[in-house]
Amino acid sequence: MRQDWTLLCAGVTALPSGSIDLKNVITSIRVGDPYRVEADNTVLPIHAPMWIVSQWTAEFDVERRLLSGLLQLIAPSGERVLNQRQLEFDFRHTNVFRYIERIPDMSYAGLGTYEFHVLVSDFAERGEWGRTCLKVT
């Protein structure tokens, strides 16, 4: 199993050819004054579109199955998971799988660099994972 890449972007289009078209890769966002206080349990709405796109490759036949996964948002300290959701990676009929999902909002824990982790469990000791970061200023 190989994580090829994971990105945040403003838009994504899956083309009939099997390729995808990514629009404006996002590396940072600026937060307005109402969010400049350090507050737990604050949800930051994202008014502009933001998508997470991650591509994975099954390198061996044993990996060509349905695998469970997890999408996590990690706080700037790197020590706290702000939210997470379960995923499925379906390699039964392909050796390349793309996970694509719109991110409409995110938990806010202060200024800093947030990490989105895409983890595939049941693989190796800790699983395989990919990461993309978003700097909030």
pLDDT at 70 over 90: no
Rounded to the nearest integer, the mean pLDDT of the chain is 81
- pTM reported for the whole predicted model: 0.78
Distance CA(89)–CA(121), nearest Å, equals 10
Report domain extents, the chain: 2-136
Q: Residues 107-135: what's their mean pLDDT?
A: 73
pLDDT at 92 over 90: yes
Q: Residues 40-53: what's their mean pLDDT?
A: 77
Distance CA(79)–CA(110), nearest Å, equals 13
Distance CA(87)–CA(90), nearest Å, equals 10
pLDDT digits (tens, 9 = 90+) for 1-37: 788 888 889 899 988 887 888 888 887 777 665 555 5
73 or 42, greater pLDDT: 73
Reply yes or no on domain 2-136 having CATH 2.60.40.150: yes
Q: Residues 77-103: what's their mean pLDDT?
A: 89
Count of beta carbons in the 10 Å neighbourhood of residue 114: 24
Distance CA(92)–CA(125), nearest Å, equals 22
pLDDT at 95 over 80: yes
User: HSE on the CB side for 44, CA within 13 Å?
Assistant: 29
CA 71 to chain centre: 6
Long-range contacts at 23-28 (CB < 8 A, ≥ 24 apart) = 26/50, 26/134, 27/133, 27/134, 27/135, 28/134, 28/135, 28/136, 28/137
